Chain A
């Protein structure tokens, strides 16, 4: 039983990052209808920015994390403006191809400028604590708690503030939002900024546990897409629940069956759920 709970803990930790990354993706995907395949790579860039702020400029962990969120937010706005906005109203395939272009540029630039080798952000909380037979490190606990805080803050922002509600308005009805005087372009920028800033937060939080490398975002980006579709396109609760489900699924599958098929669980679950519920777990029925 202890083993089981340990695996669940492992899974929740993993799921926390998945949930945050998927959350950012679902905002952009569900609201702006942009399949931002470069999302995983922006996550990678967020980790690198934190890394450089900490190692080169001596930032503390938290200041680096916040700065990285701000910088990535700006980069997100820039990408929206340069890569996606010119393609508005064009077929999806156009923005899809732009996204692939953006991700290749991001990954190769990082390799060219900073080298292919993995790097390590020093772990700010390396100590271990044992609770009810489950061994956990403070940094892992921190990821779990921070993910919950971030999710709640984001939810409050969207539901309780004016800029947040404009995002929701655009999501519900783009033309309607324009009619009541909402600047849709501005909302697009804002959504992108939030999306990339949360990716930076997730990356900076887990970077001390794992490591950062130019390719760290590729598979995660794919998985985030799986989660978004699994949870239902554009559904925020769907992304959160989907993230945790996937994390736990991978931990249980990896622990009890075989880690060799870790990615099979994620993509297998996707196919299974879509065949039962084509709109995803929390997706609305298409009219």
Chain B
């Protein structure tokens, strides 16, 4: 009986082996191979939504690339596949995840959306024979200042926002600024950069009362303290959801002044939580994705909503572009595993224009490795109405270069204003 059972088991395994072998033959007959791209980020816990938005953007890009037939490298067709691992908010987990991606799939590139993790994995991505490209979703200039040769940063540097937001607030006549922005490495940098720029302009910082936007929902204590200093404008922001609460609670405490939103907080998301822009009067921040002036934008947003049953965010859009640029770089490099060649081919991936890509046009990549995504700026006036979207280009040294780029911006469907910020250093 026993041996009989054993024989049946053997037969079963043979059958499985046969099916598998046949499947492999079948796949190679079709001739398409797979390139696996990694994503490690917070898919659970307090910032799960943020991490999932990033991954969703990558998945959408991959399904579009594969849907269009994938890429061809030296006559061989390749499709992309995304491998995802959760890291919570733990940089150690991030490092482990990257090692797993490399062991299992030999991933040429890995996406990560948290600066703390990026700093950690940029210590291991240049180990001989095991190199990979970090696709870093972080706006802090430090990501580039690290000087990692295998790192590509996706969003614009937040210094663009510090300057443009401050300038707009200054023009509105605000002089006394209070800071109630989020804690954490990113928030600290933002507050320091804002303080420096605001003081240089001749403004005054009345108080600095940071709060933890990741774990708190009640901000009445720091807000009460900040409002007691009678500011004209408040620098606030962290994750959008809790930033919305800060705005509501500040207005609830009788605050009538303006808000400067640090770029992590997104206007449309906040307006969605607060049900309107009524409480958000006199605010300057990053423009809502929906107001992106490209042809591809409305359709992209519609697809995303029907797919995920929630509104999209900049995380989705920029990861979509980031993944597309990576695919183009791999195709241009003519190799799926020589990561140095892929990294070197990145300039050939651009431009990403608005006919196919939802975000405003990306013209190239800086020598330091930051993709040239324009900063999108929007204001809400004293009556709670949106103004005109401003697109800030920060990658050029001269106004002539800037004007040339604008001329090549391709189809822009909405009325926008282009703004020039002189490039000072790699950031």
- Interface residues, chain A, with chain B CB atoms under 8 Å away: 3, 6-7, 10-11, 13-14, 108, 111, 115-118, 120, 122, 128, 130, 135, 137, 209-211, 213-216, 219, 250-256, 258-260, 262-263
Contacts and interface: CB of A to CB of B under 8 A. Distances in A.
A6 B210 CA distance: 19
Contacts of A211: 217, 241-242, 244-245, 273
B221 A10 contact: yes
Nearest to A137: B252
Nearest to A253: B221
B52 A259 contact: no
B277 to A, nearest CB: 15
Given A116-B52, A117-B49, A210 B221 contact: no
B406 interface: no
A259 B219 contact: yes
B contact residues, range:
20 to 34
A236 to B, nearest CB: 25
B223 to A, nearest CB: 9
A209 B218 CA distance: 9
A115 B310 CA distance: 10
For the complex of A and B, the 9 pairs showing the least CB-CB separation, nearest first, are A254-B221, A116-B48, A210-B217, A118-B241, A10-B220, A259-B211, A259-B222, A116-B49, A255-B221
A260 B253 CA distance: 21
Contacts of A210: 217-218, 245
B228 interface: yes
Interface in B177-216: 183, 209-212, 215-216
A214 B48 contact: yes
Contacts of B221: 7, 10-11, 250-255, 259, 262
B44 A255 contact: no
B254 interface: yes
Interface of B: 44-46, 48-49, 52, 183, 209-212, 215-222, 224-225, 228, 241-242, 244-245, 252-254, 273, 275, 309-310
B224 A259 contact: no
A24 B322 CA distance: 49
Contacts of A108: 44
A211 B240 CA distance: 12
A255 B222 contact: yes
Contacts, number: 95
B212 A255 contact: no
A6 B253 CA distance: 9
A3 B245 contact: no
Interface of A is mostly: helix
A119 to B, nearest CB: 9
Contacts of A128: 252, 254
25 contacts: A3-B228, A6-B224, A6-B253, A10-B220, A10-B221, A10-B224, A13-B218, A14-B220, A116-B44, A116-B48, A117-B241, A118-B242, A118-B273, A122-B275, A128-B252, A135-B252, A135-B253, A137-B252, A210-B245, A213-B46, A255-B222, A259-B216, A260-B210, A260-B211, A260-B212
A170 to B, nearest CB: 36
Contacts of A11: 221
Contacts of B244: 211
B401 to A, nearest CB: 40
Contacts of B211: 254, 259-260, 262
A259 B212 contact: yes
A255 B254 CA distance: 17
Contacts of A137: 252
Contact of A258 (B44, B210, B217, B242): B210
B254 A135 contact: yes
Contacts of A10: 218, 220-221, 224
A122 B274 CA distance: 9
A253 B221 CA distance: 8
Nearest to A215: B46
A213 B224 contact: no
B95 to A, nearest CB: 23
A260 B212 CA distance: 6
Given A135-B252, A211-B217, A259-B209, 15 more contacts: A10-B221, A14-B220, A108-B44, A115-B309, A115-B310, A130-B254, A211-B242, A215-B48, A253-B221, A254-B222, A255-B221, A259-B210, A260-B210, A260-B212, A262-B221
Contacts of B183: 260
Nearest to B225: A255
Given A137-B252, A213-B241, A251-B220, A262 B49 contact: no
B212 A111 contact: no
Contacts of B241: 117-118, 211, 213
Contacts of B52: 115-116
B215 A219 contact: yes
A281 B352 CA distance: 65
> Which one of B52, B215, B218, B245 has the greatest number of beta carbons of chain A within 10 Å?
B218
Contacts of B222: 254-255, 259
A252 B245 CA distance: 20
A3 B219 contact: no
B217 A256 contact: no
A213 B149 CA distance: 39
Contacts of A117: 49, 241, 310
Nearest to B216: A262
A215 B211 CA distance: 18
A216 B217 contact: yes
Contact of B44 (A3, A14, A111, A216): A111
B313 to A, nearest CB: 10
B224 A255 contact: yes
